[in-house]
Amino acid sequence: MIRLTWVWLGCLAQQWGIGLRFRLYALMGAIAIGVAATASTATTTLDFEDVPDGTSLTNQYQSRGVTISGVTAYNTVGHATFPPVSGTNVAYSEGLAHFQFNAGISGNVTSVSAYLSGVANVGIFAFDSANNQVAQSTLSSDATNAFLSVTTSGNAIAKIQIHNGGTSFAIDDLSFTSTGTVASLYGATALSLGGNAGTITPQGINASGQAAGTATLAGNGRRPGELRAFAWLGSAIQDLGTLGGRSSMANAINPSGKVVGTAQNGRGQMHAFLWTAGDGMIDLGTLGGNNSVANAINGSGQIVGTSQVRRDGQHAFLWINGGLTDLGTLGGSGSSAAAINDAGRIVGAAQNRDGQQRAFSWMSSEGMVDLGTLGGKTSAAAAVNSDGRVIGSAQTASGQLHAFAWPSSDGMADLGTLGGKDSTAVGINNSGEVIGRAQTASGTWHAFLWRQTGGGMLDLGTLGGKTSTAAAINYAGVVVGTAQTASGEWRAFAWSSVSGMVDLNSRLTGAPAGIKLSGALAVSDDGAIVVQTNQGLMLLRPQ
């Protein structure tokens, strides 16, 4: 069964002998959902609003898997020649626009569309990696903001050209749809503060591959170094420091590079913190007790976590613009917030009047709502996507632990297993795809993927051994985690519907001698992966 259990903050702290002096609720039950064995797709749109007027487009969208030539950003304010579809900017070309896709980041591109303003015969021409033309679509007459698209069911689109033989034209809202894929090669960057151990949560990497987690400082030969929160914002790893004490841990980073976690102050208490590049580490305080921890932050900078209250117990909190709000409970003594989406929906677990742990959803307009169970007594929510879809684990009437999704036509939907008794899940992307692990009929645990399109859970298999578990999923449906080999070794893997399960040890280039990747912990939308190794944490980037 799921319990709201008192645990020392961070198993790593215990393993490394670091005596952190407080305890917080831990959600002892992961989450999952099921999946049809069809390819996962994602659509990316370039609206050109983030590029200054007059700037040549080159590698500004490289993190999304696209490099561009022959195009300039053009602000249309006060100019009616090329009106935009959205915003104020368009992409202007004097005759030939070139868009190259990096499949290691973008995935395998199957369709491209755009709004074109130009004369007859301006068109989109698509080519595969061997430079064979696979599709085209052209304007039949002069047009303004005409929608054109190209699609291929065969070889993936490696590049497109937009032209009509020399006449200028404008492009707006260029979109491409792709299926997730695992890169053929990854370069490795060490995420080390001097020690050889560290960890990161799935929320510890943002869409552009900036990362925040926890690593050890160099030890003194007799004991490991202290735990420290770190951030990697694109060039070098940075020790985020503490609040006056010895240790700190980072739990999440948002799209702006803001980091949250918990850090020790000069009195030995652990307090939730917010770190920014401009202001450094800021103490978020508590709800009257001694200790607190921040677990997640959304794009608007709203932060959720758990704090001790003045009386016994701990409550979920929301921090906005300098103030903590106590989210309360479901009638019991404790609650904990696990995640928040950009709409402000918060999910986690709270005790009811009977002392049972229940998954909850909280919105400012609704307050805390009990999401129920699958017939048993307990449940816990672990994640929420942009659409407000919540996943978690809940007890069934027979006492088993099953993954759930909420909402459904029946309230909480049971996502089942892979033929065994139990299942758990750890992540959901904005397409509604959920990953985790589930028991098979033989009792072993396998990583799974579930999609809203139906078909039940998809067993992602192993690397030849008995067991695997999924840790994170990105927008394109690339799943990362840990799997056993036939010899029983644990290896980091990446899985996609195109590539299947891939041992990331086989995809490294220029890696240090003797390195072994034992587990993949987080994956960004641009394809970067954070892995555990025998030499500490490393960030892998598609090459």
Q: Residue 63: which CATH number?
A: 2.60.120.200
Q: Give the residue-averaged pLDDT of 170-185.
A: 89
Which helix (DSSP H) or strand (DSSP E) does residue 268 occupy?
none
For residue 490, the model assigns a pLDDT of: 98
Domain count, the chain: 1
Q: Residue count of the chain, please give it.
A: 543
For residue 134, what pLDDT is reported? 95
Q: Does 9 have pLDDT greater than 60?
A: no
Spell out a b/e string for 519-540, using b for 16 or more CB atoms within 10 Å of the CB, else e. bbbbbbbbbbbbbbbebbbbbb
Phi-psi region of 422 (alpha: psi -120 to 50; beta: other; left: phi over 0): beta
The boundaries of the domain holding residue 59 are: 40-180
E runs forming strands in 83-232: 89-93, 96-101, 108-118, 123-127, 133-138, 143-151, 159-163, 169-179, 186-190, 194-199, 211-217, 227-232
Q: What is the DSSP letter of 202?
A: G
Domain presence at residue 496: no
Residue 278 lies in a domain: no
pLDDT of residue 337: 99
**Spatial separation of the C-alpha atoms in residues 159 and 172, rounded to whole Å:** 17
Q: The tokens 């102050």 sit on which residue? A: 265
Q: Determine, yes or no, domain membership for 158.
A: yes
- Tell me what pLDDT residue 88 has: 93
Residue 55's contacts (CB-CB under 8 Å, 6 or more residues apart) are 72, 73
pLDDT band, very low/low/confident/very high, at 335 (cuts 50, 70, 90): very high
Residue 84 within a domain:
yes
Q: Are 27 and 348 in contact, with CB atoms under 8 Å apart?
A: yes
Nearest to 33 by CA among 340, 435, 326: 435
Q: Do the domain assignments include residue 294? A: no
Sheet holding 186-190, edge to edge: 508-509, 186-190, 536-542, 529-533, 517-523
Label residue 67 by pLDDT band (50, 70, 90): very high
Looking at residues 459-480, what average pLDDT do you find?
A: 96
Distance CA 72, CA 55 (A): 6
Q: How far is CA 4 from CA 9, 314, 350, 352, in A?
A: 14, 11, 8, 11
Average pLDDT over residues 137-165: 92
CA 404 to chain centre: 19
pLDDT at 377 over 90: yes
Burial grade of 241 (CB within 10 A; 0-12, 13-18, 19 or more):
middle
CA distances from 327 to 3, 287, 318, 319 (A): 20, 10, 7, 10
Across 514-526, average pLDDT: 95
Instruction: Tell me if 407 is assigned to some domain.
Output: no
372 DSSP assignment: -
Per the domain annotation, does 169 fall within a domain?
Answer: yes
- Is 80 within a domain? yes
